[in-house]
């Protein structure tokens, strides 16, 4: 079965510093991986995806993610964090009939 795991419930970073939100995956076959962001009392918004091709995927709002097949990881990164990046981030993997989500990582960026 397809699954993803987010090992950190919470990530804190100072504004202007680089940020990383971690995700590992377990799939049979080639993975279709996604990152979404959720602001309070809102639905999830698509950030970026990995289907195939370059291991470094660029997405919305300056975010990027690095696909690492040997480590089965798909970590979300941003070179310089903003206070407005504070939100809940979900990693997800596309299955046959649905999408499976991680438990989420709450990112807090402090001024």
Chain contacts with another protein (rule: CB under 8 A): 9, 32, 34, 36, 41-46, 49, 51, 90, 92, 94, 97-99, 101-104
Residue 2 has φ and ψ, to the nearest 5°, of -80, 140
> What minimum distance in Å lies between the beta carbon of 90 and another protein?
7
Q: Is 28 exposed, middle or buried (0-12, 13-18, 19+ CB in 10 A)?
A: exposed
Nearest residue (CB) to another protein, 4 versus 13:
4
Whole-number minimum distance, CB 82 to another protein, in Å? 23
In this complex, which beta carbon is closest to another protein, that of residue 13 or of residue 59?
59
* Closer to another protein by Cβ: residue 28 or 41: 41
Give the residue with the Cβ less far from another protein, 14 or 51: 51
DSSP per-residue string spanning 41-59: TS-EEEEEEESSS-SEEE-
């Amino acid at each position: 079965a397809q699954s993803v795991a987010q090992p950190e419930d919470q990530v804190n970073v100072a504004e202007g510093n680089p940020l990383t939100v971690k995700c590992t995956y377990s799939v049979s076959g080639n993975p279709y991986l996604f990152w979404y962001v959720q602001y309070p009392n809102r639905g999830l918004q698509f950030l970026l995806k990995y289907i195939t091709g370059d291991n470094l995927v660029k997405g919305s709002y300056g975010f990027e993610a690095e696909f690492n097949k040997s480590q089965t990881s798909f970590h979300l990164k941003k070179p310089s964090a903003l206070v407005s990046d504070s939100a809940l981030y979900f990693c997800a993997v596309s299955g046959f009939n649905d999408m499976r989500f991680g438990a989420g990582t709450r990112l807090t960026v402090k001024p």
